[in-house]
Structure 1
Amino acid sequence: MANAKPKNPYYQGPVTDHFDGTRFFNPGGIAPLGFRAMLRWQFNGERQTWQKQVPSPFPQAKPEERVEGDGLRVTMVGHASMLVQVAGLNILTDPVWSDRASPFGFAGPKRVTPPGIRFEDLPKIDLVLVSHNHYDHLDVATLKRLQAAHRPHFVTPLGNDTIIRRAAPDARISVMDWGGRIAISDGMNVDAEPAHHWSARGTGDRSMALWASFVISTPSGKIYHVGDTGFHDGINYRAVAKKHGAFRLAILPFGAYEPRWFMKGQHQNPDEAVRGMQLCNAAHVAGHHFATFQLTDEAMDAPVRALEAALREHGVTPERFRPLRAGEVFDVPLS
């Protein structure tokens, strides 16, 4: 039938305020632009040239096995991939060790800086958070390696479990909708909260798996991890602060934002990231989404330069918002 709805290959469930029975959406938000707009962007001639290889100013890190007590340590792997060590738990966010953020090994955005931790040097990984299914966040090759070496607990929004399970059939996966909560251990929970984004692995599955941010509640403070988001007038930042209170750490994207006419709904810029930090009451930020894969038009150093200006504009000291480079270790202060 010509008017038949496409089948969702990842998820079947009831209609909600952010799922129409086939696709997920951002309530009151901006839908991703279509194919013609993408072509207009791709042929705009404004894409800046990145170097093919850019060594990090930091050596590859060799993390300790655990961080106990009040410690909270973040080690940057690259892009949105970080090792978070807190309360004796080792957490990976959106782990990507592959050379390309792409369905192909021979084409697509290529890593310009090696991972900040060698895969073989990872401590025992307990928890893996996968925020959505874009290739720079859900890398099945890496998840398969993690399952074989560490057998962690994977946590991801609705529908993404289908993709992960194809690579790791025996994986332990918790699937979450916005507003959901799961217990990780005594005194530690993960909440899934809205982000303003979208999803796709190909041309026919747009927005058929959910995207989310995560709040990790620990005895050493709360952590807010956002893999990708548009600013969305600060709505989600205000809501997460109202629900969860203040955060010791927010993990926020601030790169991959040009051109604004195309990216505004899905990727916040540095000024919006600083405003988001203030709105969600984050004492400190680990900044990401820059200097690893060239996804958008801006120069490689543009996000950091714009972030420096935004911090001055909003009266935030640079020590509180750290744009982390591969291998960099951030011991997050208690206050």
Structure 2
Amino acid sequence: APFAAPRGMVATWVGHATVLVQAAGLNILTDPIWSDYASPLPPFGPKRAAQPGIKFDDLPKIDLILLSHNHYDHMDLPTLKRLWERDRPKIVTSLGNDTILKAHGIPATALDWGQSVSGAALNGLAPQAVIQCGSYEHCPDYQVHVTRNHHWGSRWGADRNRALWSSFVIETRAGNIFFAGDTGAGDMGWPMQARRYGPIRLALIPIGAFRFWKGQMRSDAHIGPLQAVDVFQRLGASTAIPIHWGTFRLSYEQWDTPPRMLELALRCAGIARKHFAPLRIGQSLPVPTVSAVPIGPKRCDDRAIRALE
């Protein structure tokens, strides 16, 4: 994957909710999974339909991992163990997930919604040391905020909701990054809470696994493309990458339904496709600097309305 300049930002969609974001010298991975099955008992369970966009051995040294919750397609212990043994990255997650990781020899920092941790604290540095240093290698001056979303958690039958789920805002010298994790719509107040930390240069927003029965447009656990556009607008983000589609078969919409519906939803909202365009797995995006997203004509003709309905 290309490396971002000191104030630059490059994002590479590895597949599903796994994105490599390179910002101001920091290599970040979200919900990393390189396994072939998102399951406790492979070869049973959801099988990978597309290979990771970056080979594991081609990954740069990872500094920070964001882990949204404990479902198998998001907390992949074999991948996390390989990353920990290779790079010793800092792992930030929400309450309770650190217990699962610790049982497998992987340390993590677990926080509640609304709590934050600095790169200095994660790396054992005093704040004054960060102020005085120059390069990222000796100056990890970033901030991770654990923020609310709407989901649930479980690894096995009797542990439902014993560990928390979350989204994240990461403040870096290159700008703010929002990772929605895995989420339903809920009260739709959580995007505005994330927005309070400042302008969002890049948002990672799920669009897939929203149809579990005929005619369904979303579930309580997963937003679809229509709600994803609403989240994008409520965040006030400059650029978004749609995630959580095209990698594992988790629901009953067709493979290309999420990106096709997203394009219609953007047209109906008057938002240019370039601000929230699907990537190919393995494709890298140089993320533009923060700017207001203009709202153009809402091209929502009868055909588009019928398709979305």
TM-score by length of 1: 0.78
- Write out per-residue CA displacement over residues 222-281 of structure 1, whole angstroms, 9 at most, x where no aligned residue: 11101111112421112222x213211111101110037595211111011011100111
Which of 255, 258, 270 does residue 225 from structure 2 map onto?
270
Instruction: Report if the CA contact (8 A) 2:204-2:241 is conserved.
Output: yes
1:131 aligns with 2:68: yes
Instruction: Report if the CA contact (8 A) 1:259-1:296 is conserved.
Output: yes
1:203 aligns with 2:157: yes
| Partner of residue 112, structure 1 | 49
| Partner of residue 28, structure 1 | none
Structure 2 distance, partners of 1:218, 1:135, is 29
| Partner of residue 56, structure 1 | none
The aligned length equals 269
List structure 1 segments (4+ residues) > 4 angstroms apart after TM superposition: 260-263
Instruction: Report if the CA contact (8 A) 2:217-2:224 is conserved.
Output: no
Structure 1: gaps spanning 5 or more residues:
1-62
1:235 aligns with 2:189: yes
- Write out per-residue CA displacement over residues 59-91 of structure 1, whole angstroms, 9 at most, x where no aligned residue: xxxx24x42322111111110001110010101
Structure 2 distance, partners of 1:298, 1:262, is 10
Structure 1 distance, partners of 2:163, 2:148, is 13
| Partner of residue 146, structure 2 | 192
| Partner of residue 34, structure 1 | none
1:181 aligns with 2:116: yes
Q: 1:190 Cα shift?
A: 0.1
SS of the equivalent of 1:244 reads: coil
1:84 aligns with 2:21: yes
**1:21-100 to 2 correspondences below 5 Å:** 63-64=1-2, 66-100=3-37
SS of the equivalent of 1:330 reads: strand
Aligned alpha-carbon RMSD (Å): 1.4
| Partner of residue 176, structure 2 | 222
| Partner of residue 258, structure 2 | 303
Instruction: Report if the CA contact (8 A) 2:10-2:286 is conserved.
Output: yes
Structure 2 distance, partners of 1:268, 1:94, is 18
Structure 2 distance, partners of 1:315, 1:246, is 21
Structure 1 distance, partners of 2:251, 2:83, is 29
SS of the equivalent of 1:175 reads: strand
Structure 2: gaps spanning 5 or more residues:
121-129, 131-140, 291-309
SS of the equivalent of 1:144 reads: helix
Equivalent residue letter for 1:127: L
* 296-305 vs 179-188, which moves further: 179-188
Instruction: Report if the CA contact (8 A) 1:70-1:334 is conserved.
Output: no
Which of 317, 320, 327 does residue 272 from structure 2 map onto?
317
Equivalent residue letter for 2:243: H
Instruction: Report if the CA contact (8 A) 1:68-1:88 is conserved.
Output: yes
Equivalent residue letter for 2:230: R
Equivalent residue letter for 1:282: A
TM-score by length of 2: 0.84
Q: % of aligned pairs identical?
A: 45
Instruction: Report if the CA contact (8 A) 1:245-1:281 is conserved.
Output: no
- Label 1:262 to 1:206 Cα distance change in 2 as closer, same or farther (>3 A): farther
| Partner of residue 93, structure 2 | 156
